[in-house]
A and B are shown apart, each in its own frame.
Chain A
């Protein structure tokens, strides 16, 4: 495709003017340029139209997505579309800023700054990815072409940008993309089925597994034939996929020296997360799309995971279950917590870094971003500060007292805190 010249102007459907700047990159379907859009710096994705199987349908789909709007702020969503310039056209989206690292680069692990700064950032990234796809599906879309090239992550905070939203389609529709075999569900790879919400769920599980182990879930000893041609790809990712940690099938276990990330990181994951992955890539879920793990289930697993992050006095950071105590993997010490907060769905250990979110303190909430409470250590005691906008009520034996926003409660065993419509016991 001929490049768009610097300074070239295009009109959008909304009669806004685009002035083309420098080319930022090129993908399989089109190229991305930095542009001036009505006085603002934006990105333009430009298609020659020739590489699309059905350019008219593709154009209509983009228009429709622009109208419906982005599912969450994590999406770099199409905002406006150009008039057609011959067969060519493009759409406008936000520019990606430099603090976001390509997920591919995180997987390649070549540079220190491409690694996550903390386990909390890894949890936040997982939560944002899951939440993004959950909202996308709830809005009736499917993403269709999920792979390592679609995500950019701020490795310090875990904030995520989901890009390449041009193949996102409404349920029952398909943009014509078939995605990369490594990321696509077995029924697409083996049988040529079209992508949908269920195949997205497989891809989501792949991305999460990659993020936590730096290994593909189906790439163990059976996945490295000398000639990796399409026939073998079909077999590994489509016809007979085997999870590398399948409890009942050891034919594709990780190999020492090759699957370094899987071997080092898997034992570090709590059993409930390992089991979730075993379910996500178990024979049943691989074969039956309806048995795949839904976003809400992943979301709650990772909310729990984040709340179990604990820094051992030895310096190691690990996942500490406040109820069934597990030792620090480094110094082997069994850390005990003075208390934990027992909510309906979660148990949250009390220590100097404990944070509560709306998903804890609001009934039926899965909001993992809005902070509502923070623990601080006072000598050997702990106090919990109400940073929500609600009045809390503490019941201690027969006495009740109110905790207004910004007030603190001294935590002690056997008290009950009512957060408005959810409550927790201190145990």
Chain B
């Protein structure tokens, strides 16, 4: 090999987890907007990954309704191999099951076994309803998971029936919970959050951060979310209340 040869610098991995509620109530424009937005944002995330020497980004996706089901069953996928297949809505809202499934895979024995190590993941939860199972138990277990503890987390409450308090329990802070009432805003939100969460979580952390530096990535993302909230509040589309 010559000095001038192209060789890839070793870089870490950052997994972006989509955790999507596919209960029956998501039918129609809610899940439609989710499917479209995720499909459309993948190229943007690929671009962030392709232009990042700190980490490459991989995608994992979990859907939950009556039980939880991994869409990426064999582990996080590289972006050029990942294709979003539209999810279908049916069943109840087993958030507790989703938490347990996440806990199981957030492990060096499962999804987090990269040779070059992984940055704390970014976890993006989308839900439109009150959990129907014993979510406290599932979330309690998940909250003991070190990957989850250090992860950057965001949740979107879709429509009036979503329980924002439950979602804030998941993210650890109300600041990381967004609320949305129409499809246009939901699409915008999914794209914005996926991109920003990927950017923040996939870079080497800011030097000089306080000891709990992973909280600092969350804080950086929260500042971005605040801006998004203000932006949406100022937008005329936001007056439309579909859900």
Residue ranges of A at the interface with B (Cβ–Cβ < 8 Å): 1-2, 28, 48, 50-51, 102, 104-105, 107-112, 114-119, 121-122, 148, 178-184, 188-189, 191-194, 210, 212, 214-216, 219, 224-234, 237-238, 258-261, 264-265, 268, 317
Contacts and interface: CB of A to CB of B under 8 A. Distances in A.
A1 B231 contact: yes
Given A238-B207, A265-B1, A233 B213 contact: yes
Contacts of B146: 227
A326 to B, nearest CB: 15
B204 to A, nearest CB: 4
A183 B207 CA distance: 9
Nearest to B151: A229
A226 B54 contact: no
11 contacts: A48-B227, A50-B223, A105-B51, A110-B6, A116-B4, A180-B54, A226-B118, A227-B120, A227-B150, A233-B204, A261-B8
B227 A229 contact: no
Nearest to B54: A182
Contact of A111 (B6, B206, B216): B6
A180 B117 contact: no
Given A104-B52, A229-B150, A210 B209 contact: no
Given A182-B54, A189-B208, A258-B116, A219 B4 contact: no
B134 interface: no
Contact of B9 (A51, A111, A210): A210
A150 to B, nearest CB: 12
A318 to B, nearest CB: 9
Contacts of B117: 224-228, 232
B112 interface: yes
Nearest to B213: A230
B147 interface: yes
B203 interface: yes
A1 to B, nearest CB: 6
A180 B53 contact: no
A2 B11 CA distance: 32
Contacts of A212: 3
Contact of A259 (B3, B10, B113, B150): B10
